[in-house]
Structure 1
Amino acid sequence: MNVIGGFFEEENLNDNKNGFPFLEDQTYSNGRSALYEILQICQPTKIFLPAYTCDAVLEPILKLQIPYSFVEINNQMEFVALPDLKSSEVLLGINYFGLKGTYLKEISTQLGTNLIIDNSQAFYSSNWNTWAFNSLRKYFGVPDGSILYTPDGSTPKRTHSYNLPKIEHLKLRKNGAIDLGYKLYKESEKEQAISDKKMSNYSSEVLQHLNLKSIRQRRIENFNYLVNALSKWNQLDLSINIKHDVPLCYPFWPKNPIPHAKFWNHGIYVPVFWKECLKRGAKYKFESVLSAELIPLPVDHRYDEEEMNRMIEFISIQ
């Protein structure tokens, strides 16, 4: 039985380029590097960000020694209340699971360029005329890559070299060597660091030869299939706006918690978003519970109804 989820394998590429619109100068090796660049340009005196986030987001903030404060979110994955920003302060808004594009568009009309959008989980989403960045390896079988979007669409000229990431884990997964591939994948993830290098030529070439329209449609179809089957058991009610949203996953928060390990033992490799939230403090109880109990079910372009049904059947007997 084939496993579901986990790190990506090497992509099957089309013969023809799709002409995905990005410039080399707006690419970075990863999302934290793009965020670091944004913060260097904006030079905020303080940044507010959701408590429900990974430590990678904090790396550029800490490196630049920018004061920060966490903000609570609710079960709609939206801020409980927007902070009262000074003109020199910024808010980081996360496009959770690729499903909060409409919400962030609304916030952008209020905050303008005082908003930075983290589209790491939302490759297909807009930047709504403010600062934004994404993370390609969350959506595709590439080892690196992030695209930085500026409020006015300009792209500063950069003379930096290209990133040279490891790609062995992608090839091993494609050839069925999942265990060894996973070991190398973890090593690759540990090597992710803030860098001024551009996205690798490898990732750029892959992105140019993917059928992004087909990938988008498959994700939406798989997501809707799981919505129809699992929403009755899900404590999160996150709808999808096809105009703005392309899901990273189906965020399943079961009314009766199911340990992640049960899924892993059944060959369904779901991630944990994010263990570090457990140490944010007692104030952020919702974030801690979600970190422990949320099951991000895969809906990506590797799968169709067969894999969706396997996950549904497994969940139905828990």
Structure 2
Amino acid sequence: MEFLLLLSFLLVLVALFNIFLKKQKPRPATGKHPSDEQVQPLPPGRTGLPLIGENLDYFSKLDNGVLWTFVAERMKKYSTKVFRTSLMGQPTAILCGPEGNRFLFSNEDKLVQFWLPSCFDKIFPKVDNTALGVASPNSEQAKLIRKHLHAVLKLENLIHYIGMIDTVMKQQLHTEWNREKIKVVPAVTKFTLTLACRFLLGIEDPKKVEELAIPITDVEKGIMSIPINLPGTTFYRSIKASKVMRDEIQLIVRQAKIDLHEKRESERESLLAHMLLTTDENGQFFNELYITNHVYGMLAAGYGSITSSLTFIMKYLSELPDVYDEVLKGKASNLNSVLGRCK
């Protein structure tokens, strides 16, 4: 319970700020200190060993399932608001607590910009919607993704998604959960991937979902691994899995494009269908590679976080039967009435 309580209170977001990268200017020969406007002090903390940084401690705690201690120890030692470190070869500032949360979300594109370590470009390559396929900044890609998702996640579509989730859940309960002992992580993983494939790609074929299950697992492991691109490493396998996934998704995109052209595609409100039918600000349809990379990014990014959330919910409900009984008692009737309206 302490783990969830701390996670709910802390915002642990790795962000690279140009303001933190500026070195302090030396004092002038007169002995006078520069004005406060010229000095950009770094937050307290340490960057660890050269090149390695604090990766060893970070990934060790991550593998042992106690990543929160990495933050808690440094909050106690340096600051409860912000501290610096070095992760994945990059100088990093970690903002903590509700104040850090408020600062980040109220200063997007002002004092804060969306950023990912350069090593992520090997797993999630950037592609623009141009004939030359020129890469665009991550910040621009994030804006475009949100724009498309907003169109798909319209209020009138949400009821349809609830019905779809209910259908998939009943199928999974019958095929994957109908046994005496259940391994929650694999079962929830399959449920999450099935939903993601149906929502993002419009795929209902279980075989296609199975084909994507193996590479997406390697991609997820590589996201939170030491970025060493050598044969045998987790990061290397993740890059190869990324290529496999993007090739598979591109084939799906190509077939969906043909089906839409031949009027064989049903009007499903998937992200893929929406991107195939809409144009950019110049009135051009999105090319296959652009759509492939964006859908792949959404599939990989949403897969692990949703799986983890569902797994933790089930874990704590099983450990707190009183809470489980109250949830089941209070929500069952309301849920049935909602699902009744969705059919």
- TM-score in terms of structure 1 length: 0.29
Higher fraction of strand? 1
Q: Mark the structure with the bigger radius of gyration.
A: 2
**Larger relative CO (CA 8 A, sep 6+): 1 or 2?**
1
